[in-house]
Amino acid sequence: MLLRSHIARHQLTWDSHCWLIYPPMTLAIFPLSNSSNALRMRSLQWKHWSATGATSITGTNTQTLKPLLPAYISTVDSGNLAAHLLTLRAGLLELPAKKILGAQLFNGLNDTLRILVDSADGFFPERSANPENGSTTERPRISMQFHSGYSHGMRGNAWTSWPHPPLR
Amino acid sequence: MIDILDALDANPDIEAKWWARAFARQCLAALDELMLLAPSTISGIEKIPTLRELAGLGNQLASERIVGIERLATQSGELAAHGL
């Protein structure tokens, strides 16, 4: 789920060789050698268990990348990681057919805008006084709309009132 | 948005300023992605394209990104199979 959410949010980035960099786990997947399809992961030490042919995770010192003692093979973590990788594969294969700016982007913009409006509420006074003639002026309000171009599946598309900043 | 940020500058401690900058950052990031992948259509864009659509229009960057994605998918599958 975490991987899929990050795929959806396009938080995966690629370096010039299109290797995968996965920021939340500082995970990097890249060819271990030209002669092998084996891959290596940083941070989570991905052990290639040559005797059994199995690939497993051990507890790892994140600074030195050396296995923590006593060394062990975590079958649970290995299985979890394998499942994550299968999920990652499925998510990656869906990307080319998805819009380059997905609906989730506009949902995020709407969420940020709503928080912004909420946090700004009260910052601008409802009324401003004119010191020259003593009159007061109602705070003008403007409306903002995000239209994503998506006809459905959008949580947003909301009209949001915005307190207009003081006129200068 | 710039006017709003200017107005908020008068009070640097206000939380809204942080959110306004976050909002501006999100908008600029989306615009950058759009201009990077679809610079020729940015002015008259009517709908958001997919990577595959852009590649079909001859967009080299989109084609390269698809190749990279497919390679990563292959690697992920191979590594998962190896682990299982």
Which DSSP helix (H) or strand (E) runs through B59?
none
> Which has more pLDDT, A12 or B5?
B5
Q: What is the pLDDT of residue A119?
A: 80
Note the pLDDT of residue A26: 32
Nearest CA in chain A to B20: A116
For the sheet containing A36-41, what is the strand order? A13-14, A20-22, A27-33, A36-41
* pTM of the model as a whole: 0.53
B20-69 pLDDT, tens digit per residue, is: 888 999 999 888 888 877 766 555 556 788 889 888 888 888 899 999 99
**Where along chain A do its domains lie?**
2-97, 103-163
pLDDT for residue B81: 82
Q: Give the domain ranges of chain B.
A: 1-37, 49-84
C-alpha Rg value of chain A to the nearest Å: 26
Chain A to chain B Cβ contacts (< 8 Å)? 135
Determine the Cα–Cα distance for residues A166 and B18; give it in Å rounded to an integer. Answer: 19
User: Which of B13, B19, B70 to substitute to test the interface with A, most A CBs within 10 Å?
Assistant: B19
Q: What is the pLDDT of residue A60?
A: 61
DSSP string computed for chain A: -HHHHHHHTT--EE-TT--EEEGGGTEEEEEEETTEEEEEETTTTEEEETTTTEEEE--B-TTT-PBPSSP--BHHHHHHHHHHHHHHHHHHHHGGGSBSS-HHHHHHHHHHHHHHHHHHTTTS-SEEE-TTT--EEEPPEEEEE---S-SSS-S---EEEEEPPPP-
State residue A56 phi and psi, 5-degree precision. Answer: -140, 165
- Cβ–Cβ gap A98/B50 under 8 Å: yes
Residues 87-146 of A with CB under 8 A from B: 88-89, 92-93, 95-101, 105, 108-109, 112-113, 115-116, 119-120, 123-124
Average pLDDT for B57-83: 87
CB spacing of A89 vs B8 below 8 angstroms: no
Cα A146-B5-B48 angle, rounded to 5 deg: 25
Q: Which of B22, B68, B82 sits opposite A18 (nearest CB)?
A: B68
Where chain A has pLDDT below 50, the residues are 6, 8-56, 140, 142-145, 148-168
- pLDDT beyond 80 at B19: yes
CA torsion sign, A82 to A96 to A98 to A8? positive
Compare all CA atoms of chain B with the CA of A56 and give the residue at the minimum distance: B83
Confidence bin at B73 (pLDDT 50/70/90): very high
Which band of pLDDT confidence, cut at 50, 70 and 90, is reported for residue B84? low
